[in-house]
Amino acid sequence: MAQPLADLMSAAAARGELERLEELLRGAPNVDLPNQFGRTALQVMRLGNPSIARALLRRGANPNLRDSTGFSVLHDAARAGFQDTVQTLLHFQADANIQDNEGNLPLHLAAKEGHLPVVRYLVQQTNTQVGHRNRRGDTPWDMARLYKREDVLQWLQSNARGQPGDPE
């Protein structure tokens, strides 16, 4: 039995096989078809490969689809610190203020993991809500403080003033 197209696209995206993915996309009626595990090619792509993201997004992949935890691909890329992928997703209309099931924005996850370049980009280049509180009441600043991400904490203290809920 032939493997479903969604599984083949997901496998190529996860492996970072751009040529194979582009070949499969030519025959794909819907780039957001879920694979056998209920995830799309964009959701399982190799995060550090923005060319894979661009190929999928150009074909109409939805950058704001969320998995069962509420994570979007932007959450995944921000948490992993892939600024180039974050920029690509945002260029294709990913929502910088999308919340996961815990109320975290991608900025919360970048701050928690200490990815200062991603934090800086999200704050300076998007309309992300710096003072947004997750379900536990924590802002991105609180996450940086809790996880001892001193460079992120200092940068947010110096550069995120004037935002609702910013550190005092």
pLDDT in tens, 92-126: 999 999 999 999 999 999 999 999 999 999 999 99
**Looking at domain 1-62, which of 1.25.40.20, 2.60.40.730, 1.10.287.130, 1.20.58.60 is its CATH number?**
1.25.40.20
Using DSSP, how many helices (H) and how many strands (E) does the chain show?
10, 0
CATH C-level class of 67-163: mainly alpha
> What is the C-alpha radius of gyration for the chain, rounded to an integer number of angstroms?
17
> What are 21-67's pLDDT values in tens digits?
999 999 899 999 999 999 999 999 999 999 999 999 999 999 999 99
Asked if residue 165 has pLDDT above 80, the reply is no
Q: Which pLDDT score is estimated for 161?
A: 59
Q: Which pLDDT score is estimated for 166?
A: 47
- Confidence tier at 89 by pLDDT (50, 70, 90): very high
Do the first three CATH levels of 1-62 and 67-163 match, i.e. the same topology?
yes
d(CA 29, CA 17): 20
pTM, rounded to two decimals? 0.92
Helical pair 5-15 and 18-26, crossing angle rounded to 10 deg: 160
Q: How do the domains of the chain map onto residue ranges? A: 1-62, 67-163
Cα-based distances in Å from 3 to 7, 8, 135: 7, 7, 41
